[in-house]
Amino acid sequence: MNWDIIIKYLPRLFDGAVLSLELVAIAVLAGLILAIPIGIARASRHWYIRALPYGYMFFFRGTPLLVQLFLVYYGLAQFDAVRQGPLWPILRDPFWCATITMTLHTAAYIAEILRGAIQAIPAGELEAARALGMSKTQTLFFITLPRATRIGLPAYSNEVILMLKASALASTITLLELTGMSRTIIARTYLPVEIFFAAGMFYLLIAYLMVRGFKLLERWLRVDACQGR
């Protein structure tokens, strides 16, 4: 093991890790916002409201993220309408392509978590809200969503870690995040074991910090206090 090389390239790997974190942060936050209406619609009692989110989730959960990335980054450029369109400066940029794709991808998974969480709320609590005279909107904002947040939080933290690992795919569309940066360094040093090892340690460290962070969040939201029915 050549430790000097690892130490020499640590700052570059750190830059890569920062880009990885940016990608993940944008994707899981934007994905959460996008997933809320999708998840609510998916849990609807009416089939015509369920159908569209179902199709969306089926596509994004049934195909590899790599295909989705290539579809957005390489695929959209096939159409002249896109290349001449006003969004081209964004869709030409690998960073935005990666964040858009990861957002759409993770939103499908978060929506599924949300649907499960919404459907896991005991019916009695919703009935109690109705009995207190809350309107449907009030019930949604004061009972359904706060309860679903706490039920779904552990699954959401898993999804964030999965997205951290999925962010490695951004290296295939030329982004120099942690994995991309490692490959660039290896192309120069020919030391794959050392550099990939260091990158792996970075991923482990970030995942560990995320797990700790979500544990704190769970305590702050008093998730365990709500589980005792």
Q: Catalog residues that contact another protein under the rule CB under 8 A.
A: 58-59, 62-68, 70-71, 74-79, 161, 164-169, 171-172, 179, 182-183, 186, 192-193, 196-197, 199-200, 203-204, 207-208
Shortest spacing between CB 26 and another protein, in angstroms: 18
- Residue 41 or 65: which CB sits closer to another protein? 65
- Residue 157 or 182: which CB sits closer to another protein? 182
- Residue 191 or 221: which CB sits closer to another protein? 191
DSSP state of 43: T
For residues 124 and 131, give the distance between their C-alpha atoms in angstroms, rounded to a whole number: 10
Shortest spacing between CB 225 and another protein, in angstroms: 25
**Residue 132 is encoded by which pair of tokens?**
């207190």
Report how far apart, in Å, the C-alpha atoms of 93 and of each of 27, 90, 99 are: 16, 5, 10
Please list, residue by residue across 115-124, b when 16 or more beta carbons sit within 10 angstroms of its beta carbon and e when fewer do: bbbbeebeee
Shortest spacing between CB 190 and another protein, in angstroms: 9
Residue 163 CB neighbours (<10 A) = 23
- Residue 98 or 129: which CB sits closer to another protein? 98
For residues 8 and 185, give the distance between their C-alpha atoms in angstroms, rounded to a whole number: 11
- Residue 121 or 166: which CB sits closer to another protein? 166
Shortest spacing between CB 189 and another protein, in angstroms: 12
Shortest spacing between CB 11 and another protein, in angstroms: 20
Residue 76 CB neighbours (<10 A) = 17
Which H or E element spans position 30? helix 3-42
